[in-house]
Structure 1
């Protein structure tokens, strides 16, 4: 009995992790990879569902199904964070105008567009910085090391066109 419980948990961890990754891949535009992944996902799902339905007389199996589901969501989100697919954009506002600041960020390989803006207390340097999501932490640490009081907003763009960082991408994702 205990082995069926662990099998149900393991199958659901695998299934829901695959499900989570598939949804994220679809959202990020990797439709072909997501389609291939979904074949494995549905196979694992049907295996797990068959085991649970064949053993409905034991409530512990339903509990195992639920536990495996929750663990799968957690694991899937951890895997996605590790993969860090896509890009991140930082909107950075610093309370001083130093023309060298964007150049220092560019020297580290990040795309920067900058301009001077008017803030409540005077001139501000505003930068829009594009980076791969896998470099998000490094970029945040760099900006904070150069401008500790910087105001930073980050977000993931869902459409990108042009720019020097994007010219080396291998066509469209399908």
Structure 2
């Protein structure tokens, strides 16, 4: 029974992160990687479920299966956050125009578009920045150094096309 428990738990620790990454790859339209992970996921699933449904499983083995699933989800999301696949769009709302921040961001190789708008009490300024997800936290911290009161919203764009920005990001973000 102890061997089964260890096997079940280990299989779940491998299975669920693979399942999590496969789902993320599907959402990000990375179908080849998702397909390959799907094959591995299915093989692991068949093997682990054959142990669980063998007819000799104990309540402890079922609980370990469920706990392994939960721990696997945690690990899978941590892995995905470290990989940070794709791009993010940052909308940075400022109370005042901050040319120093805009110039500093552009010097880091980021494309920045500034908009001026009317807020409830006064003018507001919004920066729109497209960047790779794996440097999102770094860019947000950089913005905060220049304007601690900046209000930042992050979105993940599904698709985009054209412009100098994608080429510039690939070239310049390697140097950051």
TM-score by length of 1: 0.91
Deviations 1:144-170 (A, max 9, x none): 111111111111111212232324799
Q: 3-state DSSP class of the match of 2:161?
A: coil
Deviations 1:84-141 (A, max 9, x none): 0011111111111133321211111222111222222322221001110000111110
Structure 1 segments (4+ residues) deviating >6 Å? none
- Counterparts of 2:21 and 2:151, CA distance in 1: 32
- For residue 25 of structure 1, report the CA deviation from its aligned partner: 0.5
Which residue in the other structure is 2:155 paired with?
Answer: 155
- Counterparts of 1:146 and 1:60, CA distance in 2: 54
Deviations 1:37-88 (A, max 9, x none): 1111111111101111125442211111111111111111111001000111
* Residues 109 and 169 in structure 2, CA contact (< 8 A), matched pair in contact too: no
Q: Which structure has the highest helix share of the two?
A: 2
* Residues 84 and 134 in structure 1, CA contact (< 8 A), matched pair in contact too: yes
| Shift in CA distance, 3/61, structure 1 to aligned 2, threshold 3 Å | same
Q: Any stretches of 5+ residues in structure 1 without a counterpart?
A: none
TM-score by length of 2: 0.90
Which residue in the other structure is 1:49 paired with?
Answer: 49
Which residue in the other structure is 1:6 paired with?
Answer: 6
- Counterparts of 1:57 and 1:127, CA distance in 2: 58
- Counterparts of 1:169 and 1:76, CA distance in 2: 27
Which residue in the other structure is 1:23 paired with?
Answer: 23
| Shift in CA distance, 169/119, structure 1 to aligned 2, threshold 3 Å | closer
Which residue in the other structure is 1:60 paired with?
Answer: 60
Aligned positions, number: 170
* Residues 55 and 61 in structure 1, CA contact (< 8 A), matched pair in contact too: no
- Counterparts of 2:50 and 2:168, CA distance in 1: 46
| Shift in CA distance, 64/101, structure 1 to aligned 2, threshold 3 Å | same
Q: Any stretches of 5+ residues in structure 2 without a counterpart?
A: 171-176
Which residue in the other structure is 1:132 paired with?
Answer: 132
* Residues 8 and 48 in structure 1, CA contact (< 8 A), matched pair in contact too: yes
- Counterparts of 1:40 and 1:81, CA distance in 2: 21
Bigger Cα displacement from structure 2, 104-113 vs 16-25:
104-113
